[in-house]
Amino acid sequence: MTQPPSRTRFYLDKRNGKVMGVCAGIADYTGLDVTLVRIMFVSAVLMSGFSVLPLYFVAGFMADDQPRELALEDKEEQRFWQGVRASPTRTARDIRGRLRDIDRRLADIESYVTTENRSLAREIEDLR
């Protein structure tokens, strides 16, 4: 039995990549722009005297390809998962805050509907 693909794991992004998809995968994983990652990689290669280049190929051969079901078309969902990878604690705190806000709004609606509201009762009766 195989495990489902994880959104918090590094994958090669060959759909958006140029050579092996390593820079595109790093960009997807970190949330940085892929052009910026490529510029940083080329700079690192030139500054290291090409000693970083073998690491690129090792990563390209060792890392798994991004599964099709994880290819995100929705930019908001992509930003969400990049935020989860960058700071899971902050993401969990944000989600808790959103759920508290939804819970408060539902409580306000419930309070409005369940209290004695003659105009609302009259409107409901008119609909029948």
Give the tens place of pLDDT for each residue, 83-125.
777 778 888 898 999 999 999 999 988 887 777 767 777 787 8
Return the exposure string of 90-109: e unless at least 16 CB atoms fall within 10 Å of the residue's CB, then b. Answer: ebeeeeeeeeeeeeeeeeee
Both tokens of residue 7?
């959104």
Q: Is the pLDDT of residue 39 over 90?
A: yes
Terminal Cα distance for the chain, rounded: 55
For 55-82, the pLDDT digits (tens) are 999 989 998 888 777 776 677 777 777 7
Q: Is the pLDDT of residue 40 over 60?
A: yes
Contact in structure between 26 and 37 (CB atoms under 8 Å): yes
Q: How far is CA 64 from CA 4, 61, 68, 78, 86, in A?
A: 13, 8, 12, 19, 20
